[in-house]
Amino acid sequence: MVLSLLARHLTLGTTSTLAARVAFPAAPSVLTRRTFLATPHPEFPPATKKSDGAKTTSKKSTTTKTTKKASSTKNVKKDEKSKVTISKKDLPPKRPPGTFLLFFMSYLKSQPKAKTMEETQALAKRASEVWKTYSIAEKQPFYDENEVLKEQFQKERVEYFRNTSITTLKQINKSRRARGKVVVRRVTETPRPVTAFLRFVSDFRKSTDGQSIMTQTVPGKNHNIQLITAAGERWRSMTAEDQSPYFEQSRKAREEFNQAKQAATV
């Protein structure tokens, strides 16, 4: 009796459970109901087109490069135009020949024309021997000519620098440096006055003692140094009265120089 009741109860329970499952099926779990649509996917930013600004920038850079190339070409053309062609007329005046060279040029006029370098050297040697035999009076015309040429040279030099541009002068000096020559420097329009002692040296050079020093041949010694040394000894032995004319000439020359300098700055 008891067993039959238990069996009946189990049968009813199983039947009701099956009916409930049929009527109300179990809802799928979170894991069982994930589908492709329900699964999250990573989102990427949409692909964007290049903006017009980027294209414009690239065009601008191209334009800049083109402009730079054009400007560099213009600079090359400007440099070519800035080069100055130097002619003989643009060169500064040459220094006048010295006293002996003036005599040598005059001596050549009375001699047969030399055809070789050896003949020219022989003529120069003979001219030097003749020059040594000349007295002060015989040499004086060549000293006077040299002084005139020096004054003319100073005037031409001042006029040259006054009318020559800096560009031309730079081009001349560039060529002189390439050939190992001394560059040409501008000079003031009014030369500085000579001191009293240098004025005396100029007179001492023309004297008999000065000429004997300049004409003597001493191997390994400079005649100009000997001349200045002898002039210095003579200058120190002179009295103040004997030196006063040279100081007076120097003072006047200095006053004229200062006045010309002040007039140029006004």
Percent pLDDT > 70 in the chain is 62
Q: Which residue has the higher pLDDT, 60 or 141?
A: 141
> What pLDDT shows up at residue 161?
85
> What pLDDT shows up at residue 116?
92
Q: Which residue has the higher pLDDT, 191 or 256?
A: 256
Q: Residue 6 pLDDT more than 60?
A: no
Pair of tokens at residue 52: 């017009």
> What pLDDT shows up at residue 30?
47
Report how far apart the first and last C-alpha atoms of the chain are (Å, whole number).
Answer: 152
- CA 109, chain centre distance (Å): 46
Q: Are the beta carbons of 246 and 196 closer than 8 angstroms?
A: yes
> What pLDDT shows up at residue 238?
94
Across 21-30, 112-121, 159-168, 216-225, the highest mean pLDDT is recorded for 112-121
Distances (CA, A) of 121 to 71, 86, 214, 229: 59, 34, 20, 31
Per-residue pLDDT band at 22 (split at 50, 70, 90) = very low
Across 13-27, 58-72, 242-256, the highest mean pLDDT is recorded for 242-256
Domain ranges of the chain: 86-187, 190-265
pTM, whole model, 2 decimals? 0.47
* Dihedral Cα 51, 54, 55, 59, nearest 10 deg: 160
**Class of domain 86-187 (CATH, top level):** mainly alpha
> What pLDDT shows up at residue 135?
85
Q: What is the pLDDT of residues 67-108, one digit of tens each?
A: 555 555 555 555 544 566 778 888 888 888 888 899 999 999
Q: Do domains 86-187 and 190-265 have the same CATH topology?
A: yes
Nearest CA-CA partner of 122 in 134, 130, 131, 114 = 114
As a whole number, mean pLDDT of residues 47-75 equals 52
CATH topology of domain 190-265: DNA Binding (I), subunit A (1.10.30)
As a whole number, mean pLDDT of residues 233-244 equals 94
> What pLDDT shows up at residue 193?
84
Distances (CA, A) of 115 to 120, 121, 153: 8, 11, 31
Ranges 23-27, 127-131, 174-178, 180-184: which has the least confidence: 23-27
Ranges 57-61, 112-116, 156-160, 212-216: which has the least confidence: 57-61
Q: Are the beta carbons of 167 and 82 closer than 8 angstroms?
A: yes
As a whole number, mean pLDDT of residues 3-19 equals 54
Nearest CA-CA partner of 257 in 168, 195, 169 = 195
Q: What is the pLDDT of residues 193-207, one digit of tens each?
A: 889 999 999 899 888
